[in-house]
A and B are shown apart, each in its own frame.
Chain A
Amino acid sequence: MTDGTAHAGPAGTLPAGPTVDTRRSGALGFISAGWLRFRSWRRSRPFWAGIFLIVAGAELLLIPLPLNSMGLILHIGIGGISGILIGAVLIVAGLLLWFHPVQRMFYSIVAVLLAIAALVASNLGGFLIGTILGVVGGSLGFAWMPLPPGTAPRRLWRRRPTTPADGATDFVSPGGGADVTDPEAAAAGATETTMNARDAAPTADTAAEPGWGRLDPSWGAAGLSGGVGPRITARYAEAVPRAASRYSRSAPYHRASLTRGTVIGGNIFATLLSLLTFGLINLSPTPSPTPAADASAAATTPTPSVSPAASASPSPGSSAGAGATPGASPTATASPSPTPTGSAPAFALASSQSTLTASSATMTGFAYDGVVSVPTATGTVQMMQFSASSLDLSTMHLAVSQGGGTMTTTASSLDFSGNVVLYATQLSGDLLGIPTTLTPGNALATILQLLTQLGLTPGVTQVIPLQMTNVTAQQPYTSADSMKASALQIS
């Protein structure tokens, strides 16, 4: 049916077009020409496969991608890295399908394998979406084949007005080997193309035989560029030599675009690769530096020797029994404090401003152990040390101000038990109904410490729990063998 010679007749009827030609020109002509070029570009490579792979890659890449440097430092884990890597490679594979379709088998297989790997490696394959798109895209790329020469103009969708563009490459260049230099041959080729294109019309739009004019609106309706139909018609209607030169130019154009395409493909590949490596170089050190340094310090130094890091002060730990020694705060630094036992903090404490309040605090086995020098990131701080065998807080509220924000932790009850140790720079509340404030070294604290030294407070409070109400502790640090929180809320 698609017989070039058989349609020599219909081709003769073409001159119906010229009127259209004069009307369609300028910007519209440029647009339609651009559209034609794009379409022939699109059809000469696995376009949709590339689209699928690029979307799949972008989806996989964006889910874990932190959009700020701080997030990058803190949160890129192995899952994030693999998501970003797989996503980037899928995007590259999609682009390579476009710009270097010769190797489409390889790119497609790589894309399918990676899309499947993403299922395990990254957020369940971007919550399945990325994996599905990637597998479909890769399969499309794998399935894409250039049409064998004879079948090129056959399919309905190919019979649209682009056929001349395709036809030009299909028929002109092979027909006249010297396509550019031999205008006659080119002209002949163009005529042939014209026939083909003309032939396409009835098939594509069987009802619309009456002529090109009838065809135009249907293209417009089909959502294609409205100018396409007439434009093509116009081209054919124009003097054949001109059309010929056009097509003969179009053939080299294709080849030129091919080479350019490859180069572009190569460039994009190189660029993405360098971006990727750059990203990796940037990434790899960032997650580790702070933690690694800290970690190694913390890892290699057993508990007592953390203090070197926090200047030469002795470790703050002092057991409840040995509370007397550090009590005299100035000497505490000089006298070697007893080896830290139990729950004594072996680490630097937080220096962020923090306040703990509770409607009531009930303590058993309570003792004030004296003032100790506690290392923090900003230097040593004098803090009071309390110990207890249990500490129950009700309606607890902890506010920590740092980094320009405040984080609050609340709980309806917070019960500590076993080797409870509390450090604070200030502790206030109503003790037996009397407003009380304890600060390192103040009179009340000294009295309390004496009581402890006499062995009174722990013993007595073991039997009769000590209760404080409206408790406020500044810079609190608490450690215990266990803690139970009810209605815990952090925000």
Chain B
Amino acid sequence: MSSDPTPPPTSHRRARSGGTGAPGRVRWRRFAVMFVPAAGVTALLLGLTASGALASSFSISGQQFEVSATSLDGNGFQQFGTVDFTASQQPVVVAESEIQSATITNLCQSLNTTVPVLNIPLTLKITAGGSGTPVTADSLIIDANQLSGSVATFNNINIGQDASKLDAITPGSVPLGLAGTFGQQASHVNIQGLKQVAYSTSAGTFTLPGFSLSLTSGTSAASACF
């Protein structure tokens, strides 16, 4: 508003206006200049993701989460036993399932976690592929310590193969098990009523048509997938 009667030389001020010694503040109009378009692009990308036009990439590790689907259909299936570690460094024996390409109907993924520092329990749930268009995933890897399906069909299945010699998925594109461990593979897999408790997952590309993401406080079973 009113100007200071003895303003310091502007040249000096300029010299320090690099935001070093001089105090400053946020100009909210400038904020809007950056934030509004950024939020617009974010919304656009979310829209494209929800329509299945844009694929996302997923990788979660160290937390326990639940995955369920009414149906999973995949080409190129490998599975073997391995050991994961939880965030608290507890070893967990898990079955690592790998699918080269999968289509998933009514995918649900929920994650119970606590916000660090604040220590607030949260349940995060993503659902997708429920509105006619299934979810598709490439190079899907899930480490589950519990996996169940009401009906599962496999084609060209080998059970008991050396996990380091599996080749149902293009070799080199996914990790394999340790030499000598028990593995199985199939050229095609279909699992109905899939439920998994998993510790780690990753997927190179994941389209999530009709996705919704909900964040609820607390860890009630109602907000989880199953």
Contacts and interface: CB of A to CB of B under 8 A. Distances in A.
Q: Most chain-A Cβ atoms within 10 A of its Cβ — which of B49, B84, B213?
A: B84
B188 to A, nearest CB: 9
Contact of B5 (A3, A73, A155, A486): A3
A5 interface: yes
Interface stretch (B67-75, B151-159, B217-225): B151-159
B147 A490 contact: yes
B132 interface: no
A88 interface: no
Given A75-B141, A102-B18, A491-B145, A143 B34 contact: yes
Nearest to A99: B20
Given A75-B143, A124-B213, A475-B160, A145 B172 contact: no
A75 B175 contact: yes
Nearest to B147: A490
A298 B167 contact: yes
A304 to B, nearest CB: 14
B70 to A, nearest CB: 15
Contact of A63 (B8, B59, B178): B59
A480 B157 CA distance: 5
Contact of A142 (B34, B191, B203): B34
Contacts of A290: 164, 175-176, 178
B131 interface: no
A298 B171 contact: yes
B62 A349 contact: no
A168 to B, nearest CB: 10
Interface stretch (A79-87, A268-276, A333-341): A79-87
A479 B159 contact: yes
Q: Most chain-A Cβ atoms within 10 A of its Cβ — which of B2, B23, B176, B203?
A: B23
Interface string B1-23: 11111111110110011111111
B120 interface: no
Contacts of A466: none
Contact of B4 (A116, A122, A150, A478): A150
A106 B155 CA distance: 54
B196 to A, nearest CB: 9
A477 B164 contact: no
B157 A136 contact: no
Interface string A469-491: 00000011111111111111111
B202 A482 contact: no
B72 to A, nearest CB: 12
A385 B19 CA distance: 78
Contacts, number: 388
A368 interface: no
B160 A349 contact: yes
A67 B34 contact: no
A261 interface: yes
A120 B141 contact: no
Interface in B77-92: 79, 81-85, 87, 89, 91
B147 A352 contact: no
Contact of B10 (A48, A108, A112, A149): A149
A318 B15 CA distance: 85
Q: Which bracket fits the contact residues of B?
A: 35 or more
Contacts of A292: 172
B7 A149 contact: yes
Given A63-B59, A101-B19, A482 B13 contact: no
B23 A67 contact: no
A68 B56 CA distance: 25
Contact of A67 (B18, B89, B159, B163): B89
Interface in B38-68: 38-39, 41-42, 45-46, 49, 54-63
Interface string B122-138: 00101000000000000
Contacts of A475: 160
Given A116-B42, A403-B82, A149 B8 contact: yes
B134 to A, nearest CB: 18
Contacts of B27: 143-145
A407 interface: yes
A43 B146 contact: no
B159 to A, nearest CB: 5
B149 interface: yes
Contacts of A74: 82, 96, 143, 175
A296 to B, nearest CB: 7
Contacts of A80: 59, 61, 202
Interface string A2-43: 111100000000000000000000000000000000001001
A487 B28 CA distance: 58
A484 B152 contact: yes
Contacts of B41: 116
A109 B37 CA distance: 12
A145 B30 contact: yes
B175 A287 contact: yes
B104 interface: no
B81 to A, nearest CB: 4
A142 B156 CA distance: 57
Interface stretch (A169-177, A218-226, A451-459): A169-177
A490 B146 contact: yes
Contact of A348 (B58, B154, B162): B162
Contacts of B89: 67-68
B159 A116 contact: no
A446 interface: no
13 contacts: A74-B96, A78-B202, A123-B60, A146-B24, A152-B22, A170-B8, A258-B16, A291-B175, A296-B171, A350-B163, A403-B81, A403-B82, A405-B83
Given A75-B59, A298-B165, A345-B158, 11 more contacts: A64-B61, A68-B85, A75-B143, A123-B58, A124-B211, A294-B164, A299-B167, A299-B171, A403-B181, A477-B160, A478-B158
